[in-house]
Homo-oligomer: A and B are copies of this chain.
Amino acid sequence: MDAVIPQSLDDTESCLVRNISHYLALDTQDLQLVESLERDVTSRGAGECIQAAGKPVRSLFALRKGWVRASLIDADGRRQVTRTYMPGDVIGLCELASPITTVELHACEDVELCPFPKSALQSVLTQSPRLAATLLALSSRDQIIYMDLLRAIGCMPAMERVMFLLLTWLSRVRVTNHMEQNWFKCCMTQSEIGDLLGITNVTVSKELSALEAANFITRERKKISLLRIEEMSLITRYENRYDVFDTSWFPEVRPAN
């Protein structure tokens, strides 16, 4: 099953469940397993550090509300933002193989997240092969997302990088909101965007202004609207990684065990 399985689910339920259900039907036992990961909730204010790098403390998070950014920091202050997480994402699949934290996490705005220990994955792995496959698939898609960013930074001039990022954010926002909006609220400063795209804040400012002048986008406050999505997708050869999810290789539902 490559296609998206759209489902209208109760808004009050777990954000992680909603995200996974977007791609996969969950049975009762799986539902309980996923929900058990979201038992605890903590919140952080805009700009707060959620996780520092190099610390042994180890928790994964399910993101419930707000944007989170992940970054690698150099001793001499150079910073590479590697990722933005949005509601429904599992934060920390990249940390599983490492005994200490490798990335820093910051709240881009007021956020709510559900921490759970690495060891909570044990019950998932032993009790639900399908959820284990889902985790593998999520981690797999994360890899593709990093590769897309690599292509942007490695191959594109500044303006295309900015276009690429706008398209990426819009695609991701549409997954959460289940609607075909053409705008989103940008929660990152231009300096942070620059650190994500390998350019400076000055260049980000100039390119955004140029995109606005060329009628590719409009801006008001933090809201960015994309006016010519098709055209921008062609220019950057953008591929939406969120609209397909191959589950054909997943184990059967509830094998005898």
Q: Using a CB-CB cutoff of 8 Å, which residues 59-88 of chain A contact chain B? A: 72, 74-75, 78-80, 82
Interface size for chain A: under 10, 10 to 19, 20 to 34, or 35 or more residues? Answer: 35 or more
State whether A150 and B146 are in contact (beta carbons under 8 Å apart), knowing that A96-B246, A125-B132, A246-B98 are contacts in the complex: yes
Residue A139 interfacial (CB < 8 Å): yes
Interface residues of A in 113-139 (CB under 8 A from B): 117-119, 121-122, 125-126, 129, 132-133, 135-139
Q: Which residues of chain A from 148 to 195 have a CB within 8 Å of any chain B CB?
A: 148-151, 153-156, 195
Among A32-40, A211-219, A224-232, A248-256, the one that faces the other chain is A248-256
Q: Does A141 contact B (CB under 8 A)?
A: yes
A2, CB-defined interface residue at 8 Å: yes
Report if A14 contacts B (CB, 8 A).
no
- Inter-chain contacts of A133 with B (CB < 8 A): 121, 125
- Complex CA–CA separation, A121 to B252 (angstroms): 12
A 96-123 to B, binary, CB cutoff 8 A, 1 in contact else 0: 1111001100000000000001110110
Whether A251 contacts B122 in the complex (CB less than 8 A), given A103-B147, A139-B140, A153-B150, comes out as yes
Q: Tell me if A210 is interfacial: C-beta within 8 Å of chain B.
A: no
Tell me the complex Cα distance, A239–B72, Å: 12
A207 proximal to B (CB < 8 A) = no
B125 touches A251 (CB 8 A): yes
Question: Which residues of B lie under 8 Å from residue A248 when comparing CB positions?
Answer: 99, 118-119
Beyond A139-B139, A142-B143, whether A245 also contacts B97 by CB under 8 A is yes
**What residue of chain B has the Cβ atom nearest to residue A247's Cβ?**
B97
The answer to whether B154 and A198 touch across the interface, beta carbons within 8 angstroms, is yes
The residue from B96, B129, B244 contacting A140, defined by CB atoms under 8 A apart: B96
Q: Are A126 and B249 in contact (CB under 8 A)?
A: no
Contact A144 B246 (CB under 8 A): no
Contacts of A98 in B (CB 8 A): 140-141, 144, 241, 244, 246
Q: A80-B154, A95-B140, A153-B154 are in contact. List 6 more A-B contacts (CB 8 A).
A: A97-B137, A121-B133, A125-B129, A136-B139, A139-B140, A139-B143
A residues with a Cβ closer than 8 A to B are 2, 72, 74-75, 78-80, 82, 93-99, 102-103, 117-119, 121-122, 125-126, 129, 132-133, 135-144, 146-151, 153-156, 195, 197-198, 237, 239, 241, 244-246, 248-252, 255, 257
